[in-house]
Amino acid sequence: MSATSDNTSGKSSGWIKSTCAYCGVGCGIEARPKTNGQLEIRGDHEHPANFGRLCSKGLALGETVIPDGRLLHPKIGGVRTDWNTALDHVAKSFEDVIKEHGPEAVAFYVSGQLLTEDYYVANKLMKGFIGSGNIDTNSRLCMSSTVAGHKRAFGSDTVPGCYSDLEQADMVVITGSNMAWCHPVLFQRLKAAKQQRPELKIVVIDPRATDTCAIADLHLPVKPGTDVALFNGLLSHLATSQKVDESYVRQHTEGFNQALMCAMEDGSDPATLARTLEVEQQDLKTFFDWYARTDKVVTLFSQGVNQSTSGADKVNSIINCHLATGRIGKPGSGPFSLTGQPNAMGGREVGGLANTLAAHMELDNEHHHGLVSEFWKTDSLTTKSGLKAIDLFDAIEDGRIKAVWIMATNPVVSLPDADKIQRALRNCPLVVVSDCIADTDTTRCADVLLPAQGWSEKSGTVTNSERRISRQRRLLPTPGEGKPDWWIMSEVAKRMGFGHAFDYLHEGDVFNEYVRMTGLDNSMVAGKTQRDLDLTGLADMSHRDYAGMAPQQWPLVQMDRKIEHKRLFADGRFFTPSGKAQFVAVRHRQPASRLSSDYPLSLNSGRIRDQWHTMTRTGLSARLGAHLPEPYVSVHPADAEVFGLTHGKVAALSNEWGYARIRVDVSERVNPGQLFMPIHWTGVMASAGRVCTLVSPDTDAISGQPEFKFTPVAIGPWEYQSEALLLSPGVIDTSDLDYWVRQKVAGGYLYRIASSETPKQLEARLKPHCLGLTASQGKQLDFASPSKGQFRFAVIDGIELKGCYLVAPNLQEQDLDWVQNLLHEPVNEMVQRSILTGIAEGKLARGKTVCACKQVGRNTIEQAIREGDLESVSQISECTGAGTGCGSCVPELQEILDESLAYSL
Ligand code: SF4
């Protein structure tokens, strides 16, 4: 039977089904092109990941397909060229390096943003034909500890469960994940389950009190890096309270006694354990008791577990508890890793990591090596693993790697010790970058730029966190000369003499080859294939079937039209040589870096609700930019006092690797001694907002994953004399500004500026810029109070604001959120008065954006609560519309309501 949807092109009434570009939930969307070149977006009610729901990022996808900043043509040395010249140049340069220095002198650094077809071709070219393992992916930064943990326990990189397990569980443990912001739609599914069944217990384990805690029955704010001790404590508790499923352990596992012995050393004494974790002993007991007595438990984990120098051990400590209780492969039970990127899983399937082969076959397995060599018809297949991301960039820095091709990722922002990455690329003889965006911190280091298709132009497949493969479909024509990544690589491969193996005419040909590869010597033995990943049920698909393919969860030995929720390991058989799952004996270890008197605080990092990765796409949406427009560091009030920090002012952070200057957010959501900073801001978007300049390059010895969640830093105030907001229709030259952040707003950009100069000196810098924005007949609004350091200036053409600025010694105490909307407001008298006085009037006075979907501000919400005596979030939603879009702002609405009610008491 065909695996297609009813309509074979995935289309109905002009709506085209595709998949969201962002997180690993992998939500299905439906898109319809609009006459202005943008897209209408809605959730796909038939997609089993989201059943129609979308979060704020998914809903804003249509706003991010604008042509602003696209890389349109190939370039060599910054000069436009044609595709033939660029491809010849890349192929010849790689060949020259390989001829002179061998295949280990070249590398690819790829991305979980690539489609599976792209990933497959990249891996095949590097490992199979160039003959080096030097291809690694930015998924190394988010998922490799899980891959290592899965392989150690199961003998395969298998996520055992599916999303519906969250709804069927009686207890969900969320550890190292701010799901409410990072996997919002899955969080909404869990929240709905909790509303339906309040008895469903939810425990959040996180050093920070995040929005995810809004649905928690218990929050354990453990000390960063202590997860192994916690789960070892749990394993000890299960053993001492006789909750181990002895029959399951005996029949289906190995290594229990050794794992338990280690666990007891870490966690048999509750008082000591509570001190190690820095949590209340009673809370610990509650968690252990709930876990012990609940049969159906899902443990969700993500970057807080993976991004650690003991990440793989943390994963295994979680899996150990599930194996000990036999809670795996059953409805509502299992360890469940949440993948960060939309196609982190697809990359893992086709060998995007330096230490895997393809189709879940292994580099160090001779039999697999033979199968793949024969299948690809190559004698060059590498026999050894390549360099993992951090080691790979070290090799670029020290000159062992002389040519690197970076695809769809921005390592100058996202890799630890980011300034070193920038230096390494600047010194590398050949840096090729394929991207759809022209100006990123990484494209600035490129010798060759290749324009790739963007999300809305690409066609292929992605795999989400529950092993579900979905089609990403072409929605819009490609601007300029952008090409599919698989095509670009195939063309280079042909020019390197490998044409016979890269003669693809269509992305469906690549997919079909990958599907057939999963069947290599993978026949059924006693009702089970020898490897977990089997897609052979899709092998007979035509291009037409591929075009209309409905979401499919693997393994897929046979095709079925109905939506399935498949679990693995229900039979208690695993992919280890013995067929039994392996307990892994692990001990708690401190993070690699230590706090010191020079660097006394630990810096944590993570995502925010409305941005994605390095903001190259979400940064294009004015709506998404409004929620948290400036990079910030969250600091506990006690630390703020000790280190002289004031909420809203600028802090300077530093350590041996780098520095940052960002706004201070004094908040009790972080514990004393800890800081939090978002990952998103780049050197293109801010003067010094890249968290990774500070992050240590220490990695997990097993997985190679860096420790993004614990970096010792120093912090102190950065003193400045003046601040400004500047609105401009275009990008401005910021080279002479001390501190600035760029935010996309409707009609242009808003710059948030702070300066060590006086207000008068700063205004003297900004005025020429504004004056240059219009013809001489434009009207000027000019207010100056030099004694108070207040300057406000605007240039108006008819009813159109061309640009403006507000300068003052301190702008943080004023409500100025309204300024970001001015470029597309008709400039009436009210607007002019607001600019001249610096005080919003009328509808401008809605306050800081809380609901990005419906554009509802804080002042509007507070006013509605006050005037309408509102007592619930649903009343706020009814009255203001806030929270009726994606629902991601509901925890914030609850917070505002709580504060307002407390204030009115
Ligand atoms: Fe996209 Fe949001 Fe769904 Fe993630 S949860 S796939 S970001 S819509």
* pLDDT per residue as tens digits for the range 170-215: 999 999 999 999 999 999 999 999 999 999 999 999 999 999 999 9
C-alpha to C-alpha distance for 554 and 3, rounded to whole angstroms: 12
Which tokens go with 61? 């996808």
What is the distance in A from the centroid of ligand 1 to the CA of 54?
6
- CA proximity to 848, closest of 884, 809, 814: 814
Q: Which residue has the higher pLDDT, 560 or 371?
A: 371
Q: At what angle do helices 389-397 and 418-427 cross, to 10 degrees?
A: 50
What's the first-to-final CA gap in the chain, in angstroms? Answer: 65
Contact by Cβ (8 Å): 690, 418: yes
Q: How many CB atoms lie within 10 A of CB 227?
A: 26
CA distance 602 to 389: 24
> 723 pLDDT exceeds 70?
yes
What is each CA distance from 508 to 5, 269, 277, in whole angstroms? Answer: 16, 57, 50
Whether the CB of 184 sits within 6 Å of ligand 1: yes
Do the Cβ atoms of 369 and 383 come closer than 8 Å?
A: yes
Query: What average pLDDT does range 116-124 have in this prediction?
Result: 97
pLDDT at 905: 56
CB 59 within 8 A of CB 65: no
Residue 624 CA to ligand 1 center (angstroms) comes to 14
Question: How far is Cα 364 from Cα 369, in angstroms, rounded to an integer?
Answer: 8
3-state secondary structure 307-355: CCCCHHHHHHHHHHHHHHHCCCCCCCCEEEECCCCCCHHHHHHHCCCCC
The verdict on the CB of residue 181 being under 6 Å from ligand 1 is no
Query: Helix or strand or coil: residue 695?
Result: coil
- Backbone φ/ψ region at 816: left (φ over 0), alpha (ψ -120 to 50), beta: alpha
76-90, 553-567, 606-620, 801-815: least confidently modelled range: 553-567
Q: Report whether residue 54 contacts ligand 1, using a CB cutoff of 6 Å.
A: yes
Mean pLDDT of 270-276: 96
Asked if 391 contacts 104 with a C-beta cutoff of 8 angstroms, the reply is: no
For position 4, what pLDDT does the model report? 38
pLDDT at residue 656, as a whole number: 95
The distance between the two most distant Cα atoms of the chain, rounded to a whole number of Å, is 87
Which is the closest atom of ligand 1 to the Cα of 612? Answer: 7
> Which residues lie closer than 8 Å to 119 by C-beta, 6 or more apart?
110, 137, 343, 346, 347, 350, 351, 352
What is 436-458 written as a DSSP string?
SBS--TTGGG-SEEEEBP-TTT-
Q: Is the C-beta atom of 57 inside 6 A of ligand 1? A: yes
Query: Ligand 1 centroid to 179 CA: how many Å?
Result: 11
Q: What is the pLDDT at residue 167?
A: 96
Distances (CA, A) of 559 to 535, 553, 555, 562, 642: 9, 10, 10, 9, 63
Q: How confident is the model at residue 2 (pLDDT cuts 50, 70, 90)?
A: very low
Q: Looking at ligand 1, which residue's alpha carbon is closest to its atom 3? A: 27
Distance 609 CA to ligand 1 centre (A): 11
pLDDT band at 11 (very low <50, low <70, confident <90, very high): low
Q: Which two tokens stand for residue 160?
A: 């055992």
Split at pLDDT 50, 70, 90, the class of 812 is confident
Q: Candidates 25, 345, 611, 889: which one to mutate for ligand 1, based on the most atoms within 8 Å of Cβ?
A: 25
Report the alpha-carbon distance of residue 728 to residue 726 in Å, rounded. 6
Ligand 1 centroid – CA 164 distance (Å): 17
Model confidence band, residue 777 (pLDDT cutoffs 50, 70, 90) = low
**Residue 853: which of 873, 877, 875 has the closest Cα?**
877
| Ligand 1 atom with the shortest distance to the CA of 23 | 4
Q: Measured in angstroms, how far is the CA atom of residue 260 from the centroid of ligand 1?
A: 38
Q: Yes or no: say if 87 and 495 are a contact pair by the CB < 8 Å rule.
A: yes
Per DSSP, 46 falls in state T
State whether the beta carbon of 23 lies less than 6 angstroms from ligand 1.
yes
State yes or no: pLDDT of 565 exceeds 90. Answer: no
Shortest-distance Cα residue to atom 2 of ligand 1: 55
Per DSSP bridges, beta strands 403-407 and 659-666 are: unpaired
Count of CB atoms situated within 10 Å of the CB of 813:
8
What is the pLDDT at residue 813?
81
Closest atom of ligand 1 to CA, residue 20:
1
Distance 14 CA to ligand 1 centre (A): 22
Residue 19 tokens read as: 């998949």
Q: What is the pLDDT of residue 899?
A: 84
Ligand 1: nearest atom to the Cα of 56: 2
**Is residue 563 very low, low, confident or very high in pLDDT (cuts 50, 70, 90)?**
low
67: number of Cβ within 10 Å: 11
Ligand 1 centre from 58 Cα, in Å? 5
Say if residues 76 and 448 touch (Cβ distance below 8 Å).
yes
Output the 3-class SS for 72-91. Answer: CCCEECCEECCHHHHHHHHH
Q: Is the CB of 22 under 6 A from ligand 1?
A: yes
Per residue in 406-452, pLDDT (tens digit) is 999 999 999 999 999 999 999 999 999 999 999 999 999 999 999 99
Work out the pLDDT band at 8, boundaries 50, 70, 90. Answer: very low
Nearest CA to ligand 1 atom 4: 23
Per-residue pLDDT averaged across 511-537, rounded?
A: 89
110 touches 135 (CB < 8 A): yes
- Cα distance between residue 747 and residue 68, in whole Å: 12
Is 25 touching ligand 1 by the criterion CB < 6 Å? yes
Q: 648 CA to middle of ligand 1, Å?
A: 30
Q: How far is CA 685 from CA 155, 422, 591, 741, in A?
A: 43, 16, 31, 6
Ligand 1 center to 588 CA (angstroms)? 34
pLDDT of residue 7: 40
**Is a pLDDT exceeding 60 seen at residue 575?**
yes
CB 155 less than 6 A from any atom of ligand 1: no
**In this structure, what DSSP letter does residue 549 have?**
B
What are the pLDDT digits (tens) for 757-769?
999 999 999 998 8
Residue 904: the pLDDT is 64
State both tokens at 109.
């650094």
Q: What is the number of other CB atoms lying within 10 angstroms of the CB of residue 338?
A: 28
Q: Which two tokens stand for residue 302?
A: 């993500």
Ligand 1 centroid, distance to 362 Cα (angstroms): 31
What does the pLDDT average to over 654-675? 97
Ligand 1 mutation target, pool 57, 191, 302, 888, most atoms within 8 A of CB: 57
**Per residue in 359-409, pLDDT tens?**
999 998 999 999 999 999 999 999 999 999 999 999 999 999 999 999 999
Q: Classify residue 771 as exposed, middle or buried by CB count within 10 Å of its CB (0-12, 13-18, 19+).
A: middle
- Average pLDDT value for residue range 336-340: 91
Specify whether the CB–CB gap between 467 and 476 falls below 8 A: no
The C-alpha atoms of residue 342 and residue 113 are separated, in whole angstroms, by 6
What is the overall mean pLDDT for the chain?
Answer: 93
Read off the pLDDT of each residue in 344-360 and give the average, rounded to a whole number.
90
Say if ligand 1 is within 6 A of residue 26 CB: yes
Q: What is the dihedral of CA 171, 172, 176, 178, to 10 degrees?
A: -130
pLDDT in the model for residue 3: 37
pLDDT for the residue 6: 38
Give the contacts of 293 (CB within 8 A, at least 6 positions apart). Answer: 243
The amino acid present at 856, given as its one-letter code, is V
Q: Is the pLDDT of residue 9 over 80?
A: no
User: Which of 475-484, 528-537, 845-854 is predicted with the least confidence, judged by mean pLDDT?
Assistant: 845-854
For the residues 137-149, what does the mean pLDDT come to? 93
What is the whole-number distance in angstroms between the Cα of residue 184 and the centre of ligand 1?
A: 7
Per-residue model confidence (pLDDT) at position 709? 95
Question: By the 8 A CB rule, do 214 and 896 touch?
Answer: no
Which ligand 1 atom minimizes the distance to the CA of 22?
7
